Structure formats: C-alpha cells, structure tokens
C-alpha cells in the first residue's frame, strides 16, 4: 500500500485510515528518513513516514550540498543516482590547498580500479526528489504535516507515537526510527541524552550563479591555519561558497556577512572570481555549531542521520552519513522484522556497527574542531599529497570516507608519506610562508 496524507492549517483533511499499525515508523522525511523508508518498503515492510512539513518541496537550508563518494552505492540502491544526474547534479571530486600546494583532483579507485565519485546537488533540488521517490514506493504511507507529540504504548505492548496535526493519530510499529534532525524531538521524548563538544569555528555560506572558477569545475577546499574555505559547483549553474574561521573573528562578519565572505575568499590562492557572479539569496552566518551525537538505540527506537550524529560541517560528511546510517539500519533490522521476532538483538548489532564505522571519524573531526590548524600527522599527509599522486589518492579516499582512520593512518601509509616528503620536490603551488 502506498499513500500520502497531508494536513495543514489552510486545508485540513480528515484522515479516515483505520489501520494504524505498521512494521516501521520513520520520524522525519529528510535524506536519512526517506532512505530508510524506501529501503524498508522495498523489502516488503509497511512503513509510516512522518514529516512535520506539509510541503513535499521543503528542504534543508544549512548544508554543504556535498555527498561523499562513500554514499554512492546507497544512492544506486535507492535508484536516486540517475535522478540526481537527470536533475543536473555534479559528480564531485575535490582539490585541496594547504601551504604545501594543491593535492590535485585525484579520484579514489574502487575494487575494479574505476574512479569513484559522490555528488554536489542543492538540497532544494535533492530533498523533493528523494521525498517523492520514497512516497511513491509501494508500502510507504507518507504523513505530511504531522508533528510528534508523545510516545504511546499500544495494547500489543509495542511502543507507538502520538502525532499532532489536523487530526490526532496514534500509530504503532515494532521499530521506530528517529531521522528528525540534530535536535531530535523523538530522542528527547525517549530520554536519549546527547553528548556534545565545542566547535571553535563559525561559518558563512552563500550561493552564487556564474562563478568564474580558476581550478576547473571540481569542488575546491582551502586549509590555511585556522581558516577553511570551499567552492562547491552544483546543479543549475549554482556554486556554493563557504568560509570558516575561529570565533574571535566573528565580529568582522556581523554587519555584512556577504562582504566579509567575499573579502576573505579573495585572499586565497586561485580563489574564484566573484566580481561578476550573481548573488543568490542572503549569506547564511552560522555563529555556533557544536558537535552533537547520541547513542544509536534505546528500546525499540533507532536513530539515523543527524539525529544520531551532527558534527562539524567543515568536512561535509552529514549527507553521506545520513544515507549510510539509514542503509545500515535497514540491512541489520529487516530479517528480524520480516520474521516478526523480537528486534533487541538486531538493534544491538546496529549500534555496534555504527560504533565501528563512525567512532574513528568522529574522534578525528571533533579533535580538529578544537584546533586552529593542522597537527603533525596532517602536515605529513597533506605535504605528501601535494607532491605525490599515490599519496593524494590515499588522502582523497579518506576524505571521501571510503576508508577509515586506521587504514588512512596505517604504518605503511605514513612511511610512504614520510618518504615522499623527504625525497620529492615541493609542489609549484606551495606557499611555505602561509599558516598551517
């Protein structure tokens, strides 16, 4: 069964559905929620997809619009990759500059030796496409305009949810999935405490059209001491420009964030020419973005996407991990859900999988969020990547989250980087006097 039910203040519609029992309830119809809903339903399960926005075209605004290559297999499984390309999404690689020079846009390779890639696509384009894809999946009932009000115990002893909208609903399922963002009302109602750590940087971000790029059409990133900058070419000729630095410089941005963004961007080598670019909307100033994460499961509730982990946007991992955590949950829970057996053991396996896959990445990202520059190991690897294609490919494989920290920092990789740094000449694009 597949249906979409809307409720909004202007034209409330009475919900006459009498079957309020599902296999899975997904709270939140963003990237993670829609991925989970579609993949569960493709396995023959009945899914309620609940979203507090009544508009199918709603989208997340604060985002780098960068999907890591690690998530591309999930996009293909969803059937989303072709829809992204049809909508003008840009296959992404990234060229990174430090004072050691540019790493080059050197794509990592898959097991068959083929280059891998992710996508750049605006969330205003992506979110409605994925939400419609999920809504059109047989087995998904989409409940738009409903907000989570409370948890409720049903007569069959499973936990359900009470929803508020034009009508009040109580629905139940064996599994409840929290995909409702970094502030996660579901996690709060379930008593799941969040852990957090400070982020020493703030950021400014704005979209432009017709940007003159000096390093080709790939994504570009600069790391210069406490400063970080990005160029992300997207669909529709739109380029997203972002700049981050430490909070002691925040006052310089308060009056005119756009002017400060463009002035600081112009100081980077090979920076894009924004003089003739069309400015789209207003600059978004993110004054504080602490790192937040939670335990993956409690009771019959599992968290995915930003509800599970929402950390420093500097590395652009949010979209990729949203797709991947949803897929991990589906693959772990489907067998027990289809057999209608208790899911506690499967939820425990999901939590262990999340810890194994994400804890190392989170540790390194949180560590960098507290620092004003590169540490000794990062200097070693970026210096080697600017001098040697193999070292660059290895760095990009980690940046795309195709490999984890243990493989990235393996003795073999560090020995190769040391050999390169000692014997290879410096890159022509190096600026040895720049902060590091």
pLDDT by residue (tens digit) across 88-117? Answer: 999 999 999 999 999 999 999 998 999 999
Is the pLDDT at 20 greater than 90? The verdict is no
Closest CA to 201 of 260, 252, 244: 244
Q: How far apart are the first and last CA of the chain?
A: 56
Place of tokens 């190769």: 416
Distance from C-alpha of 208 to C-alpha of 204, rounded to nearest angstrom: 13
| Domain boundary assignment for the chain | 3-59+124-195+292-360, 66-122+199-286, 376-423
Q: Which ranges of 194-300 would DSSP assign to H, the alpha helix? A: 251-254, 257-265
Counting Cα atoms < 13 Å in the Cβ hemisphere of 139 gives: 17
Which residue(s) pair with 101 in the sheet?
98
pLDDT digits (tens, 9 = 90+) for 214-263: 888 899 999 999 999 999 999 999 999 999 999 999 999 999 999 999 99
pLDDT at 2: 62
C-alpha pair distances (Å), 226 with each of 14, 61, 246, 247, 378? 54, 25, 6, 10, 14
Averaged pLDDT score across all residues of the chain: 93
Is the pLDDT at 157 greater than 90? The verdict is no
Is the pLDDT at 4 greater than 80? The verdict is no
pLDDT digits (tens, 9 = 90+) for 406-430: 999 999 999 999 999 999 999 999 9
pLDDT at 274: 92
* Residue 412: CB atoms within 10 Å: 9
pLDDT at 11: 33
Is the pLDDT at 16 greater than 60? The verdict is no
Query: Please, which residues have CB within 8 angstroms of residue 389's CB and are 6 or more apart in sequence?
Result: 104, 106
Distance from C-alpha of 423 to C-alpha of 418, rounded to nearest angstrom: 9
Local confidence band at 158 (pLDDT 50, 70, 90 cut-offs):
low
Percent of all residues in the chain with a pLDDT value above 90, rounded to a whole number: 88
Distance from C-alpha of 89 to C-alpha of 77, rounded to nearest angstrom: 17
pLDDT at 257: 96
Mean pLDDT, residues 299-322: 96
pLDDT at 10: 37
Local confidence band at 159 (pLDDT 50, 70, 90 cut-offs):
confident
Query: Please, which residues have CB within 8 angstroms of residue 345's CB and are 6 or more apart in sequence?
Result: 336
Radius of gyration of the chain measured on its C-alpha atoms: 22
pLDDT digits (tens, 9 = 90+) for 193-219: 999 999 999 999 999 999 999 888 899
Domain 66-122+199-286 has CATH 3.30.9.100: yes
Local confidence band at 3 (pLDDT 50, 70, 90 cut-offs):
low
Mean pLDDT, residues 373-383: 97
pLDDT at 291: 97
Distance from C-alpha of 169 to C-alpha of 178, rounded to nearest angstrom: 18
C-alpha pair distances (Å), 335 with each of 61, 331, 357? 36, 8, 21
Domain 3-59+124-195+292-360 has CATH 3.50.50.60: yes
């Amino acid at each position: 069964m597949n249906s979409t039910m809307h409720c909004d203040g202007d034209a409330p519609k009475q919900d006459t559905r009498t079957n309020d029992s599902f296999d899975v309830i997904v709270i939140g119809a963003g990237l993670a929620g829609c991925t989970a809903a579609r993949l569960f339903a493709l396995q023959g399960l009945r899914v309620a997809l609940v979203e507090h926005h009544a508009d199918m075209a709603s989208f997340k605004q604060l985002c780098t619009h960068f999907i890591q290559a690690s998530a591309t297999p999930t996009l293909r499984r969803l059937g989303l990759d072709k829809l992204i390309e049809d909508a003008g999404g840009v296959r992404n690689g990234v060229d990174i500059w430090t004072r050691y020079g540019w790493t080059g846009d050197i794509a990592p390779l898959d097991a068959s030796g083929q280059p891998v890639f992710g996508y750049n696509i605006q969330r205003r384009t992506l979110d409605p496409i994925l939400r419609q894809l999920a809504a059109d999946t047989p087995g998904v009932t989409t409940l738009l305009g409903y907000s989570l009000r409370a948890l409720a115990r049903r007569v069959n002893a499973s936990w359900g949810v009470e929803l508020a909208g034009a009508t009040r609903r109580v629905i139940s399922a064996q599994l409840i999935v929290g995909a409702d963002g970094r502030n996660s009302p579901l996690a709060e109602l379930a008593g799941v405490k969040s852990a957090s750590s400070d982020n020493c940087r703030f950021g400014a971000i704005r979209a432009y059209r017709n940007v003159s790029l000096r390093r080709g059409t790939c994504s570009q990133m600069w790391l210069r001491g406490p400063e970080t900058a990005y160029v992300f070419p997207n669909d529709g000729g739109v380029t997203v420009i972002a700049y981050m630095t430490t909070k002691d410089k925040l006052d310089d941005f308060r009056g005119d964030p756009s002017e400060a963004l463009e002035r600081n961007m112009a100081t980077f080598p090979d920076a894009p020419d924004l003089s003739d670019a069309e400015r789209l909307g207003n600059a978004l100033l993110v004054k504080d973005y602490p790192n937040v994460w939670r335990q993956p499961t409690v009771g019959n509730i599992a968290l995915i996407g930003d509800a599970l982990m929402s950390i420093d946007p500097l590395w652009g991992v949010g979209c990729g991990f949203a797709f991947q955590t949803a897929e991990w949950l589906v693959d772990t829970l489907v067998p027990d859900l289809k057999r209608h057996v208790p899911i506690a053991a499967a939820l425990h396996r999901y939590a262990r999988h999340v810890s194994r896959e994400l804890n190392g990445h989170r540790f390194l990202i949180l560590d960098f969020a507290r620092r004003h520059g590169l540490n000794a190991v990062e200097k070693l690897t970026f210096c080697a990547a600017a001098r040697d294609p193999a070292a660059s490919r290895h760095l990009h494989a980690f940046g795309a989250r195709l490999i984890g920290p243990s493989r990235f920092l393996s003795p073999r990789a560090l020995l190769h980087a040391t050999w390169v740094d000692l014997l290879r000449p410096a890159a022509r694009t190096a600026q040895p006097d720049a902060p590091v």
